[in-house]
Amino acid sequence: MRVVSLHPDVLVATSAVWQTTCTIVRGPVDGDDSAGAEGPDAAEAFVIDSPVLPQELEVLPSLLAQAGFPFTGLLATHGDWDHLLGRLAFGADAPLGVCETTAARLAGEPGAAARALREFDLEWYVDRAAPLGLGSVQALPVPGHVDLGDRTLELHPTGGHTADGMAVWIPWARVLVAGDHLSPVELPMFSPGGSRSAYLATLARLRPLVEQADHVVPGHGAVLDGVRALAILREDVAYLQDGTLPLARRDAAQLKVHARNQQHEAL
């Protein structure tokens, strides 16, 4: 797992599997935009999404402690299983906030995330100490806000990849956590409940945030600066509108994604 600092209050850990990203954000209470806060002056820290492998999840609590990010709770951008593993790192009682559409999805698909994780582990011979148990989650109104120390995170609705989801804008750090959108390694991908029209609407909604961002964290792939993220957004719009495959995303794996997208649209 690779960890980079985007801002004194923002860390991003990238899993060795699928380049899945986990964003850790701290809410300072001292009013300092430039240096962050440590120890008692840092009120809260949220972990957004999750890495995948057991050893990566195991080190997350110590990573936060060493960096001076006091753990408060978990956020997940959407209900795909590889973004919901924070409870395996911080315990079954760790607060988990999701948007209302994700809460409805998880309630309507009880056990689906745990089954998908088991299938992944069986395929790749991964041993885990415990199964995934989501239990109760906190449904957050989106669009909306979540307080973090003396700061506020903005929650913006997303859709198209799945039927549920949210992006998280960290205004004082100018960081956008985009969920499974704006990936430099994946084409726009339709899962059950996703659609071309909803995906295009999400990109239009995210564009003003991308234009303000210093960094954009996709659900999968390297962190992007604002200029590169805007280029990815334009490529994704072109792909969704007329099927133009981006030059950097024409490998065999993405051609399979493209074929699945076509099948999804046909259905």
Element (H or E) spanning 13, and its range? strand 10-14
- 65 to each of 61, 75, 83, 197, how far by Cα in Å? 6, 18, 21, 42
Bridge-based pairing state of the strands 166-170 and 175-177: antiparallel
**Res 30: pLDDT:** 57
Give the number of other Cβ atoms within 10 Å of residue 191's Cβ. Answer: 16
pLDDT at position 38: 46
**Is 118 buried (19+), middle (13-18) or exposed (0-12) by CB count in 10 A?**
middle
Q: Go through the domains of the chain in sequence order and give each one's CATH number.
A: 2-266 (3.60.15.10)
pLDDT along the chain (267 residues), means of 10: 96 97 87 46 85 97 96 96 96 95 95 96 95 92 94 96 96 97 95 92 97 97 97 97 92 93 81
List, in sequence order, every residue forming a beta bridge with 99; answer none if it has no partner.
Answer: 140
Task: Indicate the pairing of strand 151-157 with strand 166-170.
Answer: antiparallel
Q: How confident is the model at residue 28, as a pLDDT?
A: 73
- pLDDT of 40 reads 44
What pLDDT is recorded for position 264?
82
pTM above 0.95, yes or no: no
Give CA separation, 142 vs 164, 199, 230, 257, in Å: 11, 17, 23, 29
pLDDT score recorded for residue 34:
41
Sign of CA dihedral 203, 226, 178, 152: negative
Answer yes or no: are the C-beta atoms of 28 and 9 closer than 8 Å.
Answer: yes
